[in-house]
Structures are given as C-alpha cells and as structure tokens.
Amino acid sequence: MEFSQETQVGRVSTTLLVAILVTITMVSLFAVGLWGYSMGCSTILEEIDSLQNQISTLQEQISNLQPTQNATYQDIFQNITYFLGENVSLPQLYEQVIESVVIIRGTIVEYSFFGQPYYTQVQGSGFVYNFSGQMVIITNYHVMSDAVDISITFANGNGYAATALGSDPYADLAVLSTDAPQNEYKPLEITNSSILEVGDPVIVVGNPYGLAGSLSVGIVSAIGRTITEDMTSGYPIANVIQTTAPLNPGNSGGPLLNYLGQVVGITTAIVEDSQGVGFAIPSNTVMREIGSLVTEGAYNKHPWLGVTGIDMTYEIAREMSTQITYGWLIDQVISGGPADEADLQGGSQQIQISGTWITIGGDIIIAINEARITNIDDLSAYLEEYTSQGQTIDVSIVRNNQTMTIAVELGTRPPPSPP
C-alpha cells in the first residue's frame, strides 16, 4: 500500500514536469514567433516609409512642373534650352540669322486664249550677302524668273523694290539688288559646303506658305545628289545636298545653315509627296558663280561633255553581256560636241527593261581622271567641282568589254532652251 502511494506521487511529479516543459516550450515558441513577426513588421514599415517618402518627393517635383494659375509659358520653360553642338542654342541661332532672311514676292503676267492678261503672285525666300562691299539678296532662279514688280520684305516688316542682277537657271541661282538703306542689311556668312558629312545637323529659315520667319531642323541625309528642274533643259544640277529638314513652298531660296549660322546651301526643291526629302544647292556652287552673276549678269562656264545617258544596273549589264554593273551608259552623243569630237560612242539598240525602253550598246563611263564614276551623281559632281570648259580630261570607258581611256576636251554647255 505504501509502495503504491509512492508510485502515485512519482507519477504526479512526472506529469507535472512534462506539463511545465510543454508550457515553457510553447511560451518560447510564441516569443520567438512574436519577435520574428515584430522584426518583419518593422522591416515592412521601414519599406512603406521609404516608398511614402519617394512618392512625396515625386509629387513635389510634379507640382513644381505644373503651372500655377498666373504662370506664363515663359515662366515654365525659361530654363529649358535646346542646344545644337558647341553649346549653340536654337533660339540664339534663330535670333542671330532671322534679320538676314527676307520674303521675295513678284507678279507673273500671263494671257488667256483671248489675249486677256491675268496675274499670278509668286513668293519665296532669300538672304542678305555682302559681295565685296555690295549688299545683295541671293535666292533661287525659279523664285523670280519671269516675274515683274519684284519686292523684298525684311523680318521687321519693311519692304523695298528689288531688281535682278544676274541668274543661272542651270544652278537655280539668282541675285537681286534693292534700294533699302544700309542699316537694313544683316549679311550672312557663306562657308565651304564640301566639309559637310551625312548626319550633320542643319537648319532652315524661310517663309513656307508665306509664314514669315519659320525655322525647321534636320540633318544632311545625303550629299552629291543630282536633280533636274524645268528650266535646266534636262541638264542635272550637280552636287546637291539632300536634307531631312522640312521644306515647303515658300522655303525656296532661303538659307540652309550649319549650327554656327553659316550658309552651307540654298533650299531649292522637294520630292513631291515625300516625307523629309528636300534638296539644297551647295554653297560651293554659290561661291563659284556669285562674281559672274553680280558683275556679268549670268554664269556661262558650265563644262560640257556633250552626251546623254543612264546609270548602269545589273539588269542592263546582263542584257549587254558585260560584267560592269556600275558607271554611266552613253545612249546618245551630241553631234559636234566634245564627246563626238573625241569619238565616244552612243547606243545602237533599244530594249525594254521592266517596262522602260533603254538604248544599249554605247560606251560605259567608269572613271574621269582616274576618279571612279558609279552613276550620274558622280559624273555631274566631278565635272562641276573639278573641271572647267576647255580643260582636257581622261575618260575611262568600257566598249565591247574592253577598257580604254580617251582624252576629251570639254566644251561650254549651250544656253538653256526657252520654256
């Protein structure tokens, strides 16, 4: 009996010990969990505080950008400046050149079938240039050709009568004089266009659709192009600059500028229905001709080869059974011209390629004075830039799959045919 009571007491003590241990374990686990929860909450709260601080900072920045009720456009954007190379800002550049750009207006008189006159107003752009102390206005030939009552208007609104000093339809150039007082003239500087590279930024200031003093910006998208216009009698205007700067009717004759405000070209034409394909006469052409235009009234020094032709292609080369896929194929030699005198040969057979009739069988010009000629752009640019009338050049050709070099004395391009 006593043994049983002792045993019972031992069992009670064991049970109590186990209960205590279980309780301590549970309390410990709860404490650990509570500590972990507390630490997790603390971390989350810190992250929330950080996010709230960031949101507050952003809201403050946004509120600083938003105009107050009495704020003006200038107040909001006074610290925003657009820079274009060497820390030159577009607003500064615009102010630098705008007084040099003018609106040119004129009237063209035409006659109806019954002999009654009717009048059309033409409009374009131009800019002031100082030629050896004489202030002149440079523009495109097509802006003022056949026009009467020509006038120019400066950016300040002052207008004056103008007269033509000289023009060259082959380069689409014209020079005007006015009776404006000297203080109106703010001449621009003309620089060397041959240093231009594809990708260079350029600026156009002109009067599209009569909207005076408009500025547009783009880049040089190609150099050494050729274009033809109605007044060039089919002859190409050589070494033309292609640009992405938006051009519209009324921009013609205005300056194409580099980021220093120097003239590198004269805006002249666009590809109809294109987006961002415009052209400008290079400033080198202007500098080459300006003296003759001012003093003689014309420029009659364009070198002349006396041929017509077409760019070579793979398809033409296949039809001619030649491996030469580049160069310029002569399809006709002008009788009595320089090429005829040198015995260059034109085509003899007409074929149709992709729906177009082409005369093949003539000489393929592949080089002039060892300078590679790949197309009409190369040919025209080389002749205008590096040759003159009366000069003898070495023309490398391919004839019947044989390469040869023929000396040709260049002539002077005939005057353009009347429209």
The 10s digit of each residue's pLDDT in 123-159 is 999 999 999 999 999 999 999 888 999 999 999 999 9
Residue 287 lies in a domain: yes
Count of domains for the chain = 3
How far is Cα 307 from Cα 332, in angstroms, rounded to an integer?
6
316 domain residue, yes or no: yes
Q: Find out whether 48 and 55 touch, Cβ atoms under 8 Å.
A: no
Q: Which amino acid is at 55?
A: I
Cα–Cα distances (Å) from 267 to 2, 139, 161, 416, in that order, read 126, 9, 23, 22
Residue 324 and residue 377 in one domain:
yes
Q: Are residues 286 and 315 in the same domain?
A: no
Q: How many angstroms separate the CA atoms of 100 and 326, rounded?
A: 44
Q: Are residues 334 and 282 in the same domain?
A: no
Distance CA 325, CA 8 (A): 116
Three-state secondary structure string covering the chain: CHHHHHHHHHHHHHHHHHHHHHHHHHHHHHHHHHHHHHHHHHHHHHHHHHHHHHHHHHHHHHHHHCCCCCCCHHHHHCCCCCECCCCCEHHHHHHHHHHHEEEEEEEEEEECCCCCEEEEEEEEEEEEEEECCEEEEEECHHHHCCCEEEEEECCCCCEEEEEEEEEECCCCEEEEEECCCHHHCCCCCECCHHHCCCCCEEEEEECHHHCCCEEEEEEEEEEEEEECCHHHCCCCEEEEEEECCCCCCCCCCCEEECCCCCEEEEEEEECCCCCCCEEEEEHHHHHHHHHHHHHCCECCCCEECCEEEEECCHHHHHHCCCCCCCCEEEEEECCCCHHHHCCCCCCCEEEEECCEEEEECCCEEEEECCEECCCHHHHHHHHHHHCCCCCEEEEEEEECCEEEEEEEECEECCCCCCC
Q: In the predicted model, what is the mean pLDDT of residues 33-49?
A: 55
Q: What is the pLDDT of residues 189-214, one digit of tens each?
A: 999 999 999 999 999 999 888 888 88
Higher confidence at residue 350 or residue 42?
Answer: 350
Do residue 378 and residue 360 come from a single domain?
yes
**Is 200 designated active site?**
no
Q: What is the per-residue pLDDT for 9?
A: 39
The answer to whether residue 89 is domain-embedded is no
Q: Which of 100, 142, 193, 363 is catalytic?
A: 142
302 part of the active site: no
Question: CA-to-CA distance for 257 and 244, rounded, in angstroms?
Answer: 13
**313 and 408 co-located in one domain:** yes
Cα radius of gyration rounded to whole Å, the chain: 39
Task: Give the CATH number, domain containing residue 215.
Answer: 2.40.10.10
pLDDT score, position 71: 40
155 & 136 share domain: yes
Residues 317 and 339 reside in one and the same domain = yes
Task: Please indicate, yes or no, whether residues 264 and 339 belong to a single structural domain of this protein.
Answer: no
Domain closes at, from 184, 204, 223: 184
Q: Which residues does 131 contact at the CB level (< 8 Å), separation at least 6?
A: 290, 291, 294
Residue 48 lies in a domain: no
pLDDT at 3: 38
Looking at the fold, whether 402 and 311 belong to one and the same domain comes out as yes
Same domain for 178 and 202: no
- State pTM to two decimals: 0.75
Domain of 363, CATH number, reads: 2.30.42.10
Domain-located, residue 41? no
User: Is the pLDDT score of 309 beyond 50?
Assistant: yes
Predicted confidence (pLDDT) per residue in 72-118, tens digit: 333 433 333 444 545 568 899 999 999 999 999 999 888 877 778 88
Active-site entry in 168, 172, 331, 377: 172
Q: Domain ends where: 184, 204, 229? A: 184
How do residues 210-243 score in pLDDT, each as one tens digit?
888 889 999 999 999 998 888 788 888 999 999 9
109 in any annotated domain? yes
pLDDT of residue 78: 38
Last residue of a domain, one of 260, 295, 330: 295
Co-location of 317 and 384 in the same domain: yes
Domain limits at 115? 99-184
Average pLDDT of 271-293? 89
Indicate which residue of 100, 125, 252, 283 is catalytic. Answer: 252
Strand partners, 392: 409
Residues 266/256, Cβ–Cβ less than 8 Å: yes
Tell me, yes or no, if 142 is annotated catalytic. Answer: yes
Q: Is residue 419 part of a domain?
A: no
Considering the domain architecture, whether residues 275 and 309 belong to the same structural domain is answered as: no
In the predicted structure, residue 178 carries a pLDDT above the cut 80? yes
Q: Is residue 69 part of a domain?
A: no
Token pair recorded at residue 293: 């235009």
232 vs 265: which has the higher pLDDT: 265
In this predicted structure, what is the pLDDT of residue 83?
44
CA distance 240 to 376: 12
Name the band, by pLDDT with cuts 50, 70 and 90, for residue 30. low
